Amino acid sequence: MILIFLGPPGSGKGTQAKRLMSHRSWPQLSTGDMLRASISKGSALGMEAKKYMDQGHLVPDLVVVGMIAERIQEPDCRSGFILDGFPRTLPQAKSLDVMLAARNLSVDVVVEFQIKDSELLGRLSGRRTCSKCGTLYHIHTSPPQVSGICDVCGSDVIQRADDQESVIQKRLKVYHELTAPLVRFYSEQGKLRAIDASVSMAAVDVSVHDALGIA
C-alpha cells in the first residue's frame, strides 16, 4: 500500500501518519522530518535546506526527490509506506510516478486533509515540537506535562522557526499556489479521497481508516 497524505501545514497529516504507522507496518516518510534531521546533523544539505525552510519556501524539487528515491529503497518500505509532506509540487508528483513505475509500483490512495486557513493559523502558531523526536504539542490543546520538556524523550520542546506567524502566512500561500494543484492531478487519476480535517484527532482518525477501507 503506497499512500500519500496531502494537506496544508497544520492539517494534522503528520499526526495521522504517525498513528497509522504505529498500527501497520508502513513507515511514515516525512520530507520535513528528514530535512530537519539533516539540519540537526549540520550536513551541507541541511544547511542549504534551512535557508528555504526558515522563510516558508519549498526546498528545491531535486533535493527532496533525491531523498525520497533513496529512502523508498530501504527494506522497511517493502510492504508499503505513507508519504507525508511529499509530493508538494507537480514536478515532484510526476517524478514520484516515474520512480515508482520503474519498480512496477504506483500510488494507491491519496488522502486529502481539508481545512480552512483560518483554523490553521491558530493550530500552527500554538504548535510546539520536540527538538529531538519530533513529537508535536500545542500550547492550549495538548501541552507537554512539564512545560518545555518532551513527555516522550525528555528533550527540549521548541517552536519551529517556520511556525512563527509571519512565516505561517507564507507557507499557506505556497501551499495554495504549488501544492493544491496536486488535488486535481490525483483526482484525475481516480486516487483522491477527501476528508474533513477540522474535527477532533479521533474523528479524523476514523475518516482516514474509512478513506483507506481498513479497520
Cell of 136: 508535536
Contact partner, 153, from ligand ADP, Zn ion, none, Cβ < 5-8 Å per class: Zn ion
- How far, CA to CA in Å, does 79 sit from each of 24, 41, 106? 10, 29, 13
Euclidean distance between CA atoms 77 and 25, whole angstroms: 9
- Residue 171 is a catalytic residue: yes
**Residue with cell string 520530507:** 31
- Other beta carbons within 10 angstroms of residue 103's beta carbon come to 9
Secondary structure E strands in the chain: 2-6, 28-30, 81-84, 109-114, 127-130, 136-138, 157-158, 192-196
Question: Of 82-141, which residues contact ligand ADP (CB under 6 A)?
Answer: 85-86, 88, 92
Least distance to Zn ion, CB of residue 131, Å: 8
Whose CB is nearest to ligand ADP? Answer: 32
Contact partner, 130, from ligand ADP, Zn ion, none, Cβ < 5-8 Å per class: Zn ion
12 or 26: whose CB is closer to ligand ADP?
12
> Of the residues 19, 127, 128, 193, which is catalytic?
127
Least distance to ligand ADP, CB of residue 149, Å: 22
For the sheet containing 28-30, what is the strand order?
28-30, 81-84, 2-6, 109-114, 192-196
> Of the residues 19, 88, 128, 193, which is catalytic?
88
Specify the DSSP class assigned to residue 179.
I
Least distance to Zn ion, CB of residue 145, Å: 12
Question: Is 12 a binder of ligand ADP (CB under 6 A)?
Answer: no
The region, left, alpha or beta by phi > 0 then psi within -120 to 50, assigned to residue 78 is alpha
Of the candidate residues 16, 28, 31, 135, the single one contacting ligand ADP (CB under 6 A): 31
Euclidean distance between CA atoms 83 and 64, whole angstroms: 12
- Residue 193 is a catalytic residue: no
- Residue 127 is a catalytic residue: yes
- Residue 103 is a catalytic residue: no
60 or 146: whose CB is closer to ligand ADP?
60
Of the candidate residues 162, 172, 182, 193, the single one contacting ligand ADP (CB under 6 A): 162
User: Which residues of this protein are in contact with Zn ion, per CB under 5 A?
Assistant: 130, 132-133, 135, 150, 152-153, 155
Contact residues: ligand ADP, CB under 6 A = 9-10, 31-32, 35, 52-53, 56-59, 64, 85-86, 88, 92, 162, 171
